[in-house]
Amino acid sequence: MILAPTRELASQIEKNIHDYARFLPIKTALLVGGVGLVHQVRALESAPQIIIATPGRLMDHMRNNRVDLSDLSALVLDEADRMLDMGFIDDILKILKKCPTDAQRMLFSATVTHDVKDLAERLLNRPRLIEIAPNRDIDAIEQKVYRVKKTDKHRLLRDLIVDGQWEQVLVFTRLKTGATKLAKELLKDGFTVESLHGDRTQAARTKALSRFKDKTVQILVATDVAARGIDIESLPYVVNFDLPTHAEDYVHRIGRTGRAGKTGLAVSFVEPSEILRLATIEKLIGKRLPIDNLAPDVPDDVPDAPLATKVKTTDKVPSNSKKPSRAKQPSREHQTSRLNDAQNRNKQTNRRAEDRSQKRKAKPAVEFDYVMPDF
């Protein structure tokens, strides 16, 4: 049984299995949400050797006693870190309780985070860690960064596609609403566009991905649903319209291009307020990315405007009210006296602090008779 975080990834895994086992009598069952149960029930009744599922839909079948895991020999958790982010951990623990204790368990992830290692310790028995260039970008991918204002992103994307004559482009946004809005704007520009995100039905998502793969549409605007494991043959261009929330997702996103020995270009739009997020990505991949600054007039850190003090306007002021007399306001001589008192108190405080500092320096340093071990 193979568990995957998204329907698209689960569908691709099933297709890969059929390709690899073309001449073998292997039956599979694909259990994902967003589609009807009839075909899935029939597939389960045929006693499949391999089940590919998303955790939520698998739990639905288990609650209705359609899936029996007592004879399970191997369990695979694909994109384990993504399943943690999506909150599948409770379902996974319930599924594991139904699995035989002697079944082999495997976790796969393109980015091995501390959370994934902790999950492996919890779910696996004496696990072995196999890493192949973890958390690093691919040399075949050229990476560019444009520092640009948020309001100029759409125009910059349009110009890059037109001037570079990009025939197939995968554009990532952070939010589902952002993907829908950008897709509509690009449609107005005359491009053929599809959107892919969690608010669309499974049939619409499958159709959008299929049309993009066969190049019926030029641009696919997607959230991170399309960032994990989706294989698009010879995809030349990936654009991060919004930087991802997690730095690891950057590696997954740009990994959609430059596959199978091909080259690719990954372009990222960075707002001036996202420079720290970019630095986190650079730290993860171990290299500095070249930046083309298209917003030189905007500083990186724009301080928030001071909050204005609200004035109550509900209380009515009598028309015959008089202004407060100047005798009630502190005089300039009184203000100067208070300022001098405050300065004198600050000087006394600073003097006491200096005395304490000198006493600390006079004390001998404490010497330890052991060396802290290097963990």
Residues 268-304 as b or e (16 or more Cβ within 10 Å = b) = bbbbbebeebbeebeebbeeebeeeeebeeeeeeeee
CA angle 199, 266, 9 (to 5 degrees): 40
Residue at a domain's end among 293, 319, 337:
293
Judge if 160 and 19 occupy the same domain: no
**Tokens 């008089």 sit on residue:** 322
Judge if 107 and 153 occupy the same domain: no
Instruction: Specify if 281 maps to a domain.
Output: yes
pLDDT value of position 343? 58
Judge if 81 and 146 occupy the same domain: no
Distance CA(218)–CA(249), nearest Å, equals 23
- Collapsing DSSP to helix, strand or coil, 7 comes out as helix
Judge if 106 and 153 occupy the same domain: no
Instruction: Specify if 88 maps to a domain.
Output: yes
Judge if 210 and 269 occupy the same domain: yes
* Contact yes or no for 244/253 (Cβ under 8 A): yes
**Of 107, 144, 130, nearest in space to 5 by CA:** 107
Distance CA(252)–CA(228), nearest Å, equals 6
Judge if 118 and 218 occupy the same domain: no
Judge if 172 and 100 occupy the same domain: no
Q: For the whole model, what pTM was predicted?
A: 0.61
Amino acid type, 216: T
**Of 204, 169, 163, nearest in space to 186 by CA:** 169
Judge if 259 and 226 occupy the same domain: yes
Domain count, the chain: 2
* Contact yes or no for 199/176 (Cβ under 8 A): yes
Residue at a domain's end among 238, 259, 293:
293
- CATH number of the domain residue 48 falls in: 3.40.50.300
End-to-end CA distance of the chain: 38
Judge if 151 and 59 occupy the same domain: no
The domain in which residue 235 lies consists of 141-293
* Contact yes or no for 32/202 (Cβ under 8 A): yes
Judge if 169 and 243 occupy the same domain: yes
pLDDT value of position 375? 33
* Contact yes or no for 241/169 (Cβ under 8 A): no
Judge if 229 and 288 occupy the same domain: yes
Judge if 195 and 103 occupy the same domain: no
Q: Length of the chain, please? A: 375
Kindly give the confidence (pLDDT) of every residue in the chain, 375 residues in length, as a single tens digit, with 9 standing for 90 and above: 999 988 888 998 999 999 999 999 999 999 998 888 899 999 999 999 999 999 999 999 999 999 999 999 999 999 887 787 777 888 888 998 899 988 999 988 877 777 778 878 878 888 888 877 654 546 778 999 999 999 999 999 999 999 999 999 999 999 999 999 999 999 999 999 999 988 888 788 889 988 999 999 999 999 887 777 677 888 999 999 999 988 888 988 898 888 767 889 999 999 988 889 999 999 988 889 999 988 777 776 543 333 343 444 444 444 444 444 444 444 444 544 555 565 566 556 666 656 655 554 444 433 333 333 333
Sheet with strand 74-78: strands edge to edge: 28-31, 50-53, 2-3, 74-78, 104-108
Distance CA(255)–CA(141), nearest Å, equals 8
Instruction: Return the beta strands (E) in the chain as ranges.
Output: 2-3, 28-31, 50-53, 74-78, 104-108, 141-147, 169-172, 193-196, 219-222, 237-240, 264-270, 291-293
pLDDT value of position 182? 95
Residues 319-355 as b or e (16 or more Cβ within 10 Å = b) = eeeeeeeeeeeeeeeeeeeeeeeeeeeeeeeeeeeee
